[in-house]
């Protein structure tokens, strides 16, 4: 394995960079950190995101036959990079305990300093993640620190360790990934049906994909829509229990749609498509208010422009049992099945 000294001696350095390189090598004692490659898998039933170890996931599993998990044009195939990489550098971390109402966990802030740029970190896209491991702690990087390359020649990668309550989203054994049961309990699976909805007459989806809020792919170019379900309330005094103890609860919910890249005509077509969808499937969901389109102002000072952002808020009612049934129907044609040593799509 090439040491830090050998790697830095191959190129020209300023006196400051040479001193920093020597100090980094002495402090770290030629430390190396192993990183494991994970690939983004989206469950078509409700858009939940999991990271599956790269050597367990086949290319077809990543697509899921769902518009929620697609590759960008000309993206490199997933087999192009190794599932494991080793990077030399110095690692620092600070731990603090976070106590909340519902749980208590340790937050580890990680700083990894390297004399060379880790190409894999630069080339990764929104469907690839590298997790490092140190003293049993797994971590990822969310940013790269300030770089003054000609003089210092140091690369700083900063991130947090995987929180304990996020451990379920990291999959090292595909058999633990239950794909036939939705994660969410709200109306989101019903909204995701609009991605493939073709109206028998009137208005159809104007060619825009709906994503769960907080799970929109990174740096996604508009148009797209984020669906945020909030404030669920029971409309019936109690749930109806079936013979197999399945529950059926009439529920009311406020749903906010945030659209990007849609003009006035397109977003109104989307609204009419939603209203027509509820008439075509009255047993799935109903609209209780009179929704309208609102313009939102989201500026970027560097460009002196505002984004094409609009919102629609709807009060809907549905049966939670029906939402679960819809999720199961969506997964019938998009469920990943498991073979020994790999994960493929049925």
Q: What's residue 60's pLDDT?
A: 47
Which has the higher per-residue pLDDT, 99 or 272? 272
Q: What's residue 115's pLDDT?
A: 65
Q: What's residue 317's pLDDT?
A: 93
Pair of tokens at residue 256: 């906010």
| Ranges of each domain in the chain | 4-177, 188-331
Check pLDDT > 50 for residue 2: no
Q: What's residue 78's pLDDT?
A: 47
Sole residue written with tokens 């109806």: 240
Check pLDDT > 50 for residue 345: no
Sole residue written with tokens 């360790």: 161
Q: What's residue 243's pLDDT?
A: 60
**Three-state SS across 223-272?**
CEEEEEEEEEEECCCCCEECCCCCEECEEEEEEEEEEECCCHHHHHHHHH
Q: What's residue 314's pLDDT?
A: 96
Pair of tokens at residue 67: 């518009």
Q: What's residue 28's pLDDT?
A: 52
| Distance in angstroms (rounded) separating the CA atoms of residues 104 and 109 | 16
| Distance in angstroms (rounded) separating the CA atoms of residues 279 and 299 | 37
Beta bridge partners, 51, equal 40, 170
At residue 225 the predicted structure's pLDDT band, cuts being 50, 70 and 90, is very high
Kind of pairing between the strands at 305-306 and 309-319: unpaired
Give the pLDDT confidence of 156-204 residue by residue, as tens digits.
778 788 888 888 888 887 777 755 667 788 899 889 888 888 877 778 8
Q: Average pLDDT, stretch 87-99?
A: 78
Q: What's residue 231's pLDDT?
A: 92
Which has the higher per-residue pLDDT, 332 or 279? 279
Give one DSSP letter per residue of 328-343, joined into a string. HHHHTTT-EEEETTEE
At residue 210 the predicted structure's pLDDT band, cuts being 50, 70 and 90, is very high
Which has the higher per-residue pLDDT, 124 or 94? 94
Under 8 Å between Cβ of 179 and 43: yes
**Three-state SS across 33-91?**
EEEEEEEEEECCCCCCEEEEEHHHECHHHHHCCCCCCCCCCCCCCHHHCCCEEEEECEE
Give the pLDDT confidence of 309-344 residue by residue, as tens digits.
999 999 999 988 766 666 555 544 443 444 434 444
Q: What's residue 145's pLDDT?
A: 54
Q: What's residue 8's pLDDT?
A: 45
């Amino acid at each position: 394995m090439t040491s830090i000294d050998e790697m830095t001696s191959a190129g020209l350095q300023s006196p400051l960079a040479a001193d920093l390189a020597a100090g980094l090598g002495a402090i770290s004692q030629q430390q190396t950190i192993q990183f494991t490659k994970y690939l983004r898998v989206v469950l078509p039933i409700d858009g939940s995101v999991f990271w599956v170890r790269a050597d367990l996931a086949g290319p077809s599993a990543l697509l899921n036959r769902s518009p929620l998990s697609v590759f960008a044009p000309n993206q490199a195939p997933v087999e192009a990079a190794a599932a494991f990489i080793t990077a030399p550098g110095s690692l620092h971390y600070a731990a603090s305990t976070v106590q909340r109402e519902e749980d208590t966990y340790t937050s580890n802030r990680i700083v990894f300093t390297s004399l060379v740029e880790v190409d894999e970190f630069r080339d990764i896209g929104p469907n690839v993640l590298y997790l490092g491991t140190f003293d049993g702690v797994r971590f990822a990087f969310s940013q790269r620190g300030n770089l003054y390359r000609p003089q210092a020649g140091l690369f700083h990668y900063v991130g947090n360790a995987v929180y304990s309550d996020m451990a379920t989203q990291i999959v090292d054994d595909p058999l633990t990934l239950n794909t036939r049961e939705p994660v969410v309990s709200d109306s989101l699976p019903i909204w995701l049906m609009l991605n493939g909805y073709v109206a028998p007459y009137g208005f159809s989806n104007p060619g825009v994909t709906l994503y769960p809020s907080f799970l929109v792919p990174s740096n996604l170019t508009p148009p797209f829509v984020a669906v945020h379900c909030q404030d669920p309330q029971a409309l019936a005094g109690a749930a109806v229990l079936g013979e197999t103890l399945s529950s059926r609860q009439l529920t009311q919910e406020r749903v906010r749609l945030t659209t990007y890249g849609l003009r006035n005509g397109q977003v109104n077509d989307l609204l009419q498509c939603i209203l027509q969808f509820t008439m075509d499937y009255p047993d799935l969901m109903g609209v209780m208010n009179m929704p309208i389109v609102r313009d939102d102002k989201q500026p970027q000072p560097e460009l002196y422009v505002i984004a094409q952002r609009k919102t629609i808020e709807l009060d809907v009612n549905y049966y939670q049992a029906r939402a679960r049934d819809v999720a199961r129907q969506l997964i019938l044609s998009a469920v990943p099945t498991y073979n020994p040593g790999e994960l493929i799509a049925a």
